[in-house]
């Protein structure tokens, strides 16, 4: 966790959560959810979609000093709605359209249509991610070893 | 004299066209899709991402297809692509103690909180060919049990409570980056770990194995091996705070070695660390052993002449792209080099022949 996080306002904390959700979303699922939202506003680009690398760091021994592990691909863009809200899209991978959609959702979540967007996009994305995570955790749990002691033959 | 020669363009074009045809193989067999490689050859994809130093399963799968399954060639393609990417930034160090573990085993403690979770492993299989896989068929669904929601603590944190294990002191210094500055020796541990993560699995495995067999003797236990997904967080300047920009699957291995103590340190366990992309546990365990081996000097342990104790030997030879580049260049035209060497050998032979004629005359 970043050091600055302790100082985040509730609005920043909420934005942090939805941006993280959008970053990890399935591109097709995001497109499907946003496709069902009517009358999407037009916007101007502040930064056109671009693909780049983020150097992922680890810590020695899991807890020690940082080191560079390797990069991951990230697509990002920034836009301004005609109503003035600025949206940033950061998504894992190289899908520029997904970055655009993430930025659009980010911008709309700051305006009067936030509730509509939450129900149409964020909730289903969150549910899908939780379902996926829970399914894997359930399969992992089924491979947990139950030790039992065999009858010892010493007596 | 330097003679420039040209030619072979038509031959090269035709060779590449034939390569494309051979890559496709028998057209009566369905073509592999990138998605099939990503989903069904996932461990090859993981290796290409780890050694290609770029986490992107689709790109790694494409590289494997393009390289006809030659993983070092695929790694080369990933490294080449990586150099074209603008660097957006760097992440906060990933928090592996928050990993959603698919697998988590410890060879040192049977009853660890969170338990021994085997995950989708080859361990305990009989290594008999499964001819059922030659036929198409449905796979039975994996069993499920009550999922663990809370994070699984690191095993070494329990040893640490007794002070029996050397602690890793948290720091926030900027680590050196091999992709930005050339490797210079002596390297610090951060640079070594980056080089080992990218290093060739076969080479790192052999180095690790050599330490087990007695070359730079060290007896390591796998304190913990875990595989699963972790979130990747990055500071976003335009926001002024960090967000998760994705999540990556990682394999993490912590090894512990008995250490008899030194003038400044009491007897304790010392640690080796391995961290790799995807499910790549052979590599992560090997990396941990080699990391520990290369720490000998800083830990005040006896340093032998063994290869795995030699930082220069390990770090300068572990990169399979550097190695294959230098190795394979000798198959490219060296006509002029060779011509000059041939002249030299002819001359030496002529001199020896002349000397023996003279000796005979005397």
Chain A nearest C-alpha distance from B1 (Å): 46
Q: What per-residue confidence (pLDDT) applies to A66? A: 97
Chain B nearest C-alpha distance from A153 (Å): 22
CB atoms within 10 A of CB A135: 13
Q: Where along chain B do its domains lie?
A: 9-82, 96-120+151-167+180-324
pLDDT of A26-40, one tens digit each? Answer: 999 999 999 999 999
pLDDT of A84-123, one tens digit each? Answer: 999 999 999 999 999 999 999 999 999 999 999 999 999 9
Q: What per-residue confidence (pLDDT) applies to B304? A: 84
Which among B92, B191, B246 has CB closest to A74?
Answer: B246
CB atoms within 10 A of CB A112: 9
Interface test with A, best of B173, B223, B275, B290 (most A CBs within 10 A): B275
Q: Could you give the angle at which helices A10-23 and A123-142 cross, rounded to 10 degrees? A: 70
Q: Could you give the angle at which helices A96-108 and A10-23 cross, rounded to 10 degrees? A: 160
Q: What per-residue confidence (pLDDT) applies to B298? A: 83
d(CA A33, CA B32): 30
Q: What per-residue confidence (pLDDT) applies to A6? A: 64
Ranges of chain B whose pLDDT falls below 70: 1-5
**CB of B205 within 8 A of CB of B286?**
yes
**Is the confidence at residue A155, as pLDDT, over 60?**
no
The arithmetic mean of pLDDT across residues A33-58, rounded, is 97
Which residues of B fall within a CB distance of 8 Å from A56?
55, 90-91, 94, 232, 248
B252/A62 touch (CB, cutoff 8 Å), yes or no? yes
pLDDT band (50, 70, 90) for residue A2:
very low
Dihedral sign of CA atoms A13, A14, A17, A23 in order:
negative
**CB of B282 within 8 A of CB of B205?**
yes
Report the candidate in B42, B39, B23 with the shortest Cα–Cα distance to residue B31. B23
**Is the confidence at residue A5, as pLDDT, over 60?**
no
Q: Is ipTM beyond 0.90?
A: yes
B55/A64 touch (CB, cutoff 8 Å), yes or no? no
pLDDT band (50, 70, 90) for residue A3:
very low
pLDDT of B249-290, one tens digit each? Answer: 999 999 999 887 777 778 888 899 999 999 999 999 999 999
Beta strands in B94-240 (DSSP E): 100-105, 220-236
Interface test with B, best of A9, A13, A46, A63 (most B CBs within 10 A): A63
CA atoms within 13 A on the CB side of B1: 3
B147/A137 touch (CB, cutoff 8 Å), yes or no? yes
Report the candidate in A98, A94, A100 with the shortest Cα–Cα distance to residue A41. A100
d(CA B248, CA B230): 6
Q: What per-residue confidence (pLDDT) applies to A114? A: 96
Summary mean pLDDT of chain A: 93
How buried is A40 (Cβ within 10 angstroms: 0-12 exposed, 13-18 middle, 19+ buried)?
middle
Tell me whether strands A43-59 and B87-93 are parallel, antiparallel or unpaired: parallel
Q: What per-residue confidence (pLDDT) applies to B338? A: 86
Which among B236, B242, B247 has CB closest to A5?
Answer: B242
């Amino acid at each position: 966790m970043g050091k600055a996080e302790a100082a985040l306002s509730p609005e920043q904390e909420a934005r942090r959560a939805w941006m993280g959700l959008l970053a990890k979303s399935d591109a097709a699922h995001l497109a499907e959810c946003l496709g069902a939202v009517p009358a999407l506003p037009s916007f101007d680009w502040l930064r056109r979609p671009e693909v780049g690398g983020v150097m992922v760091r680890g810590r020695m021994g899991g807890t020690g000093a940082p080191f560079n592990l390797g990069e991951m691909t990230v697509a990002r863009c920034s836009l301004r709605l005609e109503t003035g809200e600025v949206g940033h899209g950061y998504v894992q991978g190289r899908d520029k359209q997904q970055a655009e959609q993430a930025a659009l959702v980010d911008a709309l979540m700051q305006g009067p249509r936030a509730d509509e967007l939450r129900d149409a996009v964020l909730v289903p994305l969150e549910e899908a991610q939780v379902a996926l995570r829970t399914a894997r955790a359930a399969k992992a749990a089924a491979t947990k070893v139950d030790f039992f002691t065999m009858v010892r033959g010493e007596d | 004299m330097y003679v420039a020669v040209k030619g072979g363009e038509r031959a090269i074009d035709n060779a590449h066209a034939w390569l494309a045809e051979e890559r496709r193989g028998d057209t009566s067999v369905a073509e592999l899709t990138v998605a099939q490689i990503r989903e069904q050859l996932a461990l090859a994809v993981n290796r290409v991402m780890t050694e290609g130093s770029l986490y992107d399963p689709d790109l790694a799968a494409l590289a494997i297809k393009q390289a006809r399954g030659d993983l070092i060639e695929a790694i080369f393609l990933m490294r080449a692509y990586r150099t074209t990417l603008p660097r957006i930034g760097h992440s906060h160090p990933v928090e592996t103690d928050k990993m959603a573990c698919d697998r988590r085993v410890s060879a040192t403690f049977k009853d660890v909180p969170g338990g021994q979770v085997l995950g989708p492993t080859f361990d305990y299989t009989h290594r008999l060919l499964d001819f059922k896989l030659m036929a198409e068929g449905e796979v039975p669904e994996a069993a499920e049990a009550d999922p663990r929601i809370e994070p699984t603590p690191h095993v070494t944190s329990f040893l640490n409570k007794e002070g029996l294990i050397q602690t890793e002191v948290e720091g926030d210094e900027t680590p050196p980056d091999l992709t930005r500055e050339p490797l210079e020796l002596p390297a610090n541990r951060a640079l070594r770990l980056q080089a080992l993560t990218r290093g060739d699995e076969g080479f790192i495995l052999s180095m690790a194995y050599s330490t087990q067999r007695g070359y730079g003797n060290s007896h390591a236990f796998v304190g913990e091996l875990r595989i699963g997904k972790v979130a990747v967080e990055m500071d976003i300047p335009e926001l002024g705070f960090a967000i998760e920009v994705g999540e990556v699957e990682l394999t993490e291995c912590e090894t512990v070695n008995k250490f008899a103590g030194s003038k400044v340190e009491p007897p304790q366990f010392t640690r080796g660390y391995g961290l790799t992309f995807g499910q790549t546990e052979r590599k992560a365990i090997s990396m941990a052993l080699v990391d520990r081996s290369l720490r000998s000097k800083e830990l005040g342990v006896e340093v032998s002449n063994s290869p795995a104790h030699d930082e220069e030997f390990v770090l300068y030879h572990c990169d399979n792209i550097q190695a294959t580049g230098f190795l394979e260049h000798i198959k490219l035209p060296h006509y002029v080099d060779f011509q000059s060497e041939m002249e030299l050998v002819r001359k030496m032979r002529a001199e020896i022949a002349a000397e023996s004629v003279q000796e005979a005359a005397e």
